[in-house]
Amino acid sequence: MKNIVLFGPPGAGKGTQAEVLKQKYQLVHISTGDVFRYNIKNETELGTLAKSYMDKGHLVPDEVTINMLNAEVEKNTDANGFIFDGFPRTAAQAEALAVLMEEKKSQINAMVALEVDDEILVGRLLERGKSSGRADDANEAVIRERIAEYYRKTDILKEFYQNQDKYFGVDGVGSIEDITERLSAVIDQL
């Protein structure tokens, strides 16, 4: 079983690569954002609980998020592994994810981060903003803040996984195929 935490700043191509890797390695892609939306839309017990925090402008507690992820893992007990996208975001969440995977007699094998120069990211997001309809992709100042926030949050995680020899930075510039090839080189050695 291969379990990967996929990281990258906004515009790095995580969504595109997660889809390709999911198919190539028969992995289950768990996007925290998608899991939240599903649970809230379907008014699950966890979704209702999460929404109660969000409606007050509070962050959803890690325990609630982990319970949602656990439910997704449980739905896919026969999976070859998982791609975690958007989680963990803090060292405490990384620890909680490690405990969850341990309970499943598994582990996180690697944190793979797509690395892309900030100016390229800004250009990609501004271009995407022309067709995505996302306001946060149309404003350069907002884009730069999103990128800065990503680095503020992930530096801790980079160190967390580096200390376990599980951090792999991958050049996220080039064709989709070239980037997939680089990611595959890392995944194949796990």
Which residues carry out catalysis?
14, 89, 128, 134, 146
Is 116 marked as a binding-site residue?
no
Is 154 marked as a binding-site residue?
no
Is 168 marked as a binding-site residue?
no
Please state, in angstroms and rounded to a whole number, the distance separating the CA atoms of residues 5 and 123.
25
Q: Alpha helix locations (H) across 133-165?
A: 140-162
Phi-psi region of 26 (alpha: psi -120 to 50; beta: other; left: phi over 0): left
Is 29 marked as a binding-site residue?
no
Is 146 marked as a binding-site residue?
yes
Is 174 marked as a binding-site residue?
yes
Is 15 marked as a binding-site residue?
yes
Amino acid at 64: V
Question: What are the angstrom distances between the C-alpha of 30 and each of 11, 72, 107, 122, 130?
Answer: 18, 7, 15, 26, 27
Is 169 marked as a binding-site residue?
no
Give residue for tokens 């680095």. Answer: 151
Token reading at 26: 């028969």
Is 16 marked as a binding-site residue?
yes
Give residue for tokens 């997704």. Answer: 72
Which helix (H) or strand (E) element contains residue 37? Answer: helix 32-41
Is 153 marked as a binding-site residue?
no
Residue 162 has a CB neighbour count (10 Å cut-off) of 13
Binding residue numbers for AMP: 32, 37, 58-60, 86-89, 93, 134, 146
Binding residue numbers: 11-16, 32, 37, 58-60, 86-89, 93, 128, 134, 146, 174
Binding residue numbers for ATP: 11-16, 128, 174
